[in-house]
């Protein structure tokens, strides 16, 4: 059996403590193993985004513990959380156009993510980026490498976002409503891609969705 990757115990996130407090999370317990595919499903306002922020080390809980690889990240400061994100976590966001730089070529955007992760030459970065594009089903990577986001279809943009999330071989990939803006056919293709990546890579995938 795969080892425990994430262990959350009695996690609470309280906004405006006091008379008008909002308990976005109220006593969450969650265990996720290495190489596991987990879907966190709930309607708008149910706390999915707050839990995602905790899992992604974008925020810390009011109380409770979050153990990642056996290390408590619950009370880390911003710099420590940034280091954890850089080493451990890749993000796929709902709308690629809010995450991709419209003025930068696709290849350059992937290469930029390598900064701070590995000491690589420009040629090595490009080769690694092309390998990642192929991994997410973009076989004509050389052509796509030179394109800008507006030249790509919605499904292709999301594949690029998945490629960026995989840079550095993270142990966790968090996908936040990754198919909301896609039609049914492309949605199925992206979900199949995520399932296949989870099976072939040493990573856990956490899918946040209302569907």
Over residues 81-108, the pLDDT tens digits come to 999 998 899 999 877 777 899 999 998 8
Could you report the per-residue pLDDT of 7-32, keeping only the tens digit for each?
999 999 999 887 788 999 999 999 99
What pLDDT, on a 0 to 100 scale, did the predictor assign at position 27? 93
What pLDDT, on a 0 to 100 scale, did the predictor assign at position 118? 59
Measured in whole angstroms, the distance separating CA 201 from the mean position of its chain's CA atoms is: 14
List the one residue out of 145, 193, 148 whose CA is nearest residue 173: 193
What pLDDT, on a 0 to 100 scale, did the predictor assign at position 117? 55
Contact predicate 159/128, CB 8 Å: no
Which token pair is 73?
């990240």
């Amino acid at each position: 059996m795969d080892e425990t990757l994430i262990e959350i115990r009695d996690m609470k996130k309280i906004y405006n403590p006091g008379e008008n407090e909002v308990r976005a999370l109220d006593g969450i317990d969650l265990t996720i193993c290495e190489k596991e595919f987990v879907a966190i499903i709930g309607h708008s306002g149910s706390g999915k985004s707050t839990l995602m922020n905790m899992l992604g080390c974008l925020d810390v809980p009011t109380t409770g513990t979050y153990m990642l690889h056996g290390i408590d990240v619950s009370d880390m400061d911003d710099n420590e959380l940034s280091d954890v994100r850089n080493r451990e976590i890749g993000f796929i966001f709902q709308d690629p156009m809010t995450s991709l730089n419209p003025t930068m070529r696709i290849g350059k955007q992937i290469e930029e993510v390598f900064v701070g992760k590995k000491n690589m030459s420009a040629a090595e970065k490009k080769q690694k980026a092309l390998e990642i594009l192929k991994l997410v089903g973009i076989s004509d990577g050389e052509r796509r490498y030179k394109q800008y986001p507006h030249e790509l279809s919605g499904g292709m943009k999301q594949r690029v976002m998945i490629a960026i999330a995989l840079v550095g071989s993270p142990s966790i990939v968090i996908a936040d409503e990754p198919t909301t803006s896609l039609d049914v056919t492309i949605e199925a293709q992206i979900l199949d891609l995520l399932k296949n990546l989870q099976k072939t890579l040493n990573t856990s995938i956490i899918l946040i969705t209302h569907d």
